Amino acid sequence: MSAEENRITPRMVTMKFGGTSMGNHDTIAQVARIIVEHAAQGHRILTVVSAMNGVTDLLKQAARTASTGDDNEHIRIVNDLRVRHVETAEHLVVDDKIKKVLVEDIDTLLDSLNAMCHSIAVLREITPRGMDLIMSFGERFSARLLAAHLRDLGHAALAIDASEIIVTDDNFQDAAPFMDETQQRVNEFLLPYLHNGTFPIVTGYIGATRDGIITTLGRGASDYSAAILGACINTDDLWIYTDVDGIMTTDPRIVPTARVIPVLSYGEVGELAYFGAKVLHPKTVQPVIDKGAPVRVRNTFNPTHLGTLIQQQSEITQGAVKAVTIIRDVSLVSVEGRGMVGVPGIAGRTFMAVARVGVSVLLISQSSSEQSFCFIVPQSKTSTVLDGIKKEMRHELERGDVDRVWAREDVVIITTVGAGMRGTPGVAARVCGALSNRGINILVIAQGSSEYSISLVVRAEEANEAVRALHDLIAL
Ligand code: ASP
Ligand code: MG
């Protein structure tokens, strides 16, 4: 425990532990130590957990294969899951009674999982709703393991399925919470445990509709679950525990001198998460913004490190750039034509066509001559997007008002993030200068409207060099 932590003595702390932290019995024991140690400082701890790492993917695979009519693969997967979870339970729990209840509980869940996969195999069909139900199991196992371990250590602890608490819409696979109803459930089913000294261990990732149908909030959304629940209990702090020391200035595999960023604002982290930094789910800060609760990204395996603090105010650092991110596997779609000049609606119709094929656009730029505009989509969607636009623009293409709709696939987006970019003259010039000094050609440049970021599109083969050049702009 550092001096800084001792000074602030928050009463309510929400801790979220990711898949690696929940990965095996050693790491789960470490999670329990962190919880118990902070509780001993007088804090009330709400814990939210991910599934053991890899489990959610296996569940998806079980459902997928079953939907092709394969009635065996899911049996094999469920068997592997049984071995892994029961073995972990054996290590984590000494008391025979606690262990028996835990293993029976896990067995019952696994049996129902198998039965559901069997139905999918018979129907040869999987709906998003069915997928959510199957994919919700991982967190239900892991929450039970941790709660049983804490009980085995002599603490009051209870595994709670968030489907009882987080009320969502029915947008399966990417459900959104109804905060008022969730707040009511939190008051009723969660706060009493926090007040009577029980450790509630809540499943991340999942919720349920008003009718009680299980939903998931999107891949990697356990962070978001923790923020939703943290906001509802008025948490003083939200700590997202992961397996790195915090949010890094860039990917250390590209720049070995990359380091942990000590402080970021909500705005900056939003931009970072959107533009490819994998540490935090992009929606995480949303629920706590109004409450102003600070978020910390911390390392389960280096628990005295304070990690990255994310707060309301932004600290302007010298040099303005705080982080450099990269998104690979994208393509740059261009719509070109001299006949487009001054014609309203071409861009609008193009983006409607892209939306209609279900693809979201990552970045947009238009040349002021109006003779072309371009935008970035995921590479896997290139041909879908081109077909959609060509269909929408077939008359313009025939008439020659639009000359060309095409894409190049050998590109990446590199984004520099930092609040100081707002109103600091010359940042864009320095960013572009850093690249031109190294002879890197910028294909597209776009500035986020928040002015927290500048994004550049460059050729994929120059990507790492570009990241290194921009990382040099970060003040030490
Ligand atoms: N287990 C879920 C996933 O793998 C949620 C999470 O880990 O945040 O996407
Ligand atoms: Mg995650």
Cβ of residue 23 lying under 6 Å from some atom of ligand 1: no
pLDDT band at 200 (very low <50, low <70, confident <90, very high): very high
Higher-scoring residue by pLDDT: 446, 137: 137
Residue 90 pLDDT > 90: yes
Q: Which atom of ligand 1 is nearest to the CA of 221?
A: 8
Question: What's the pLDDT at 93?
Answer: 98
Of 243, 262, 282, the one marking the end of a domain is: 243
Task: Provide the CATH number for the domain around residue 214.
Answer: 3.40.1160.10
Q: How far is the CA of 136 from the centre of ligand 1 (A)?
A: 9
Of 243, 277, 298, the one marking the end of a domain is: 243
Question: What's the pLDDT at 449?
Answer: 64
User: Do 238 and 331 belong to one domain?
Assistant: no
Q: What is the tally of structural domains in the chain?
A: 2
CB under 8 Å to 238, separation ≥6 — which residues? 13, 14, 16, 226, 227, 230, 288, 293, 294, 295, 296
User: Do 237 and 336 belong to one domain?
Assistant: no
User: Do 339 and 462 belong to one domain?
Assistant: yes
Q: 300 in a domain, yes or no?
A: no
**CA distances (Å), origin 395, targets 36, 127, 372, 405:** 67, 37, 17, 13
Q: 259 in a domain, yes or no?
A: no
CA-nearest residue for atom 2, ligand 1, is: 220
Q: Return the percentage of the chain with pLDDT > 70, whole number.
A: 96
Mean predicted confidence (pLDDT) in 397-401: 92
CA-nearest residue for atom 8, ligand 1, is: 220
Summarize pLDDT for 406-456 with one digit per residue, the tens: 999 999 999 999 887 766 778 888 999 999 999 999 999 988 767 788 999
Q: 281 in a domain, yes or no?
A: no
CB under 8 Å to 178, separation ≥6 — which residues? 167, 168, 169, 210
Cβ of residue 142 lying under 6 Å from some atom of ligand 1: no
Task: Provide the CATH number for the domain around residue 356.
Answer: 3.30.2130.10
Q: 239 in a domain, yes or no?
A: yes
Rounded CA gap, 401 and 431, in Å? 35
Q: Which atom of ligand 1 is nearest to the CA of 50?
A: 7
User: Do 20 and 130 belong to one domain?
Assistant: yes
For a mutational test of ligand 1's pocket, the pick from 205, 242, 283, i.e. the residue with the most ligand atoms closer than 8 A to its C-beta, is 205
Question: What's the pLDDT at 476?
Answer: 62
Question: What's the pLDDT at 2?
Answer: 53
User: Do 9 and 130 belong to one domain?
Assistant: yes
Residue 4 pLDDT > 70: no
Question: What's the pLDDT at 5?
Answer: 52
* β-bridge partners, 21: none
Q: How far is the CA of 25 from the centre of ligand 2 (A)?
A: 19
Q: How far is the CA of 260 from the centre of ligand 1 (A)?
A: 23
Of 211, 243, 275, the one marking the end of a domain is: 243
pLDDT band at 342 (very low <50, low <70, confident <90, very high): confident
Of all ligands present, the nearest one to the C-alpha of 19 is 1
Q: What is the mean pLDDT of the chain?
A: 93
Of all ligands present, the nearest one to the C-alpha of 137 is 1
Q: How far is the CA of 337 from the centre of ligand 2 (A)?
A: 43
Sign of the C-alpha dihedral, residues 328, 329, 335, 336?
A: positive
Q: Return the percentage of the chain with pLDDT > 90, whole number.
A: 82
Q: How far is the CA of 367 from the centre of ligand 2 (A)?
A: 37
Which of 41-45, 287-291, 298-302 is predicted with the least confidence, judged by mean pLDDT?
287-291
Q: Helix (H) and strand (E) counts for the chain? A: 17, 16
Rounded CA gap, 289 and 276, in Å? 21
User: Do 331 and 206 belong to one domain?
Assistant: no
pLDDT band at 29 (very low <50, low <70, confident <90, very high): very high
User: Do 327 and 213 belong to one domain?
Assistant: no
Q: How far is the CA of 188 from the centre of ligand 1 (A)?
A: 26
Summarize pLDDT for 221-279 with one digit per residue, the tens: 999 999 999 999 999 999 999 999 999 999 999 999 999 999 999 989 988 887 777 77
Residue 10 pLDDT > 90: no
Q: How far is the CA of 382 from the centre of ligand 2 (A)?
A: 27
List the domain range (segments joined by +) for residue 403: 323-471
Residue 217 pLDDT > 60: yes
Higher-scoring residue by pLDDT: 49, 10: 49
User: Do 337 and 192 belong to one domain?
Assistant: no
User: Do 225 and 339 belong to one domain?
Assistant: no
Q: 341 in a domain, yes or no?
A: yes
Ligand 2 (ion): which residues have CB within 5 A?
18, 220
Q: 318 in a domain, yes or no?
A: no
Distance from first CA to last CA of the chain, Å, rounded? 26
Q: 419 in a domain, yes or no?
A: yes
Question: What's the pLDDT at 451?
Answer: 75
Cβ of residue 222 lying under 6 Å from some atom of ligand 1: yes
Q: 304 in a domain, yes or no?
A: no
Q: Which atom of ligand 1 is nearest to the CA of 218?
A: 9
User: Do 113 and 237 belong to one domain?
Assistant: yes
Question: What's the pLDDT at 273?
Answer: 81
Residue 343 pLDDT > 80: no
Cβ of residue 205 lying under 6 Å from some atom of ligand 1: yes
Question: What's the pLDDT at 9?
Answer: 56
Rounded CA gap, 322 and 161, in Å? 38
User: Do 174 and 82 belong to one domain?
Assistant: yes
